[in-house]
Amino acid sequence: DGGITQSPKYLFRKEGQNVTLSCEQNLNHDAMYWYRQDPGQGLRLIYYSQIVNDFQKGDIAEGYSVSREKKESFPLTVTSAQKNPTAFYLCASSAGTGVYEQYFGPGTRLTVT
């Protein structure tokens, strides 16, 4: 069963705590992405990785960090420096960064109080 998995589906944290969101894919895709979606808005790119051990900042990287130690895994850490962390987080992957469609995981809804 190929696809992208994200865990957990729902996550609750207190302000000031770091939290790590998991993203795993078994599609053998080289590129992986993290997006944030706020109510009534489109997706905004946080970080992306074209290949293992390499990643680039997207449009809203401040307060987030990532790692890409394995091809199939691209975890996102939401740090306490992120001012408004409550949002819906989507992970995606694609075969490359050329003309390829991106496939999305089911998302993690993070609530920070």
Partner 1 sequence: EDKVVQSPLSLVVHEGDTVTLNCSYEVTNFRSLLWYKQEKKAPTFLFMLTSSGIEKKSGRLSSILDKKELFSILNITATQTGDSAVYLCADQGAQKLVFGQGTRLTINP
The torsion angle over the Cα atoms of residues 36, 24, 54 and 67, rounded to 10 degrees, is: 70
Question: Closest CB to partner 1 among 33 and 64?
Answer: 33
Q: What spatial distance separates the first Cα and last Cα of the chain, rounded to whole Å?
A: 36
Contacting positions for partner 1 (CB under 8 A): 33, 35, 40-45, 48, 50, 56, 58, 90, 97-99, 101-107
CB of 33 to partner 1, least distance (A): 7
Q: Which is nearer to partner 1, 16 or 42 (CB)?
A: 42
Q: How far is the CB of 87 from partner 1 (least distance, A)?
A: 14
Instruction: Find the shortest distance in angstroms from Cβ 70 to partner 1.
Output: 21
Q: Per DSSP, what are the bridge partners of residue 106?
A: none
CB of 90 to partner 1, least distance (A): 7
Q: Which lies closer to partner 1 via its Cβ, residue 16 or residue 39?
A: 39
Residue 77, phi-psi category: left (phi > 0), alpha (psi -120 to 50), beta (remainder): beta
Between 7 and 18, CB nearer to partner 1: 7
Q: Which of 91, 88, 93, 81 is nearest to 110 (CA)?
A: 88
Q: Quote the CA–CA distance of 23 and 30 in Å, as a whole number.
A: 14
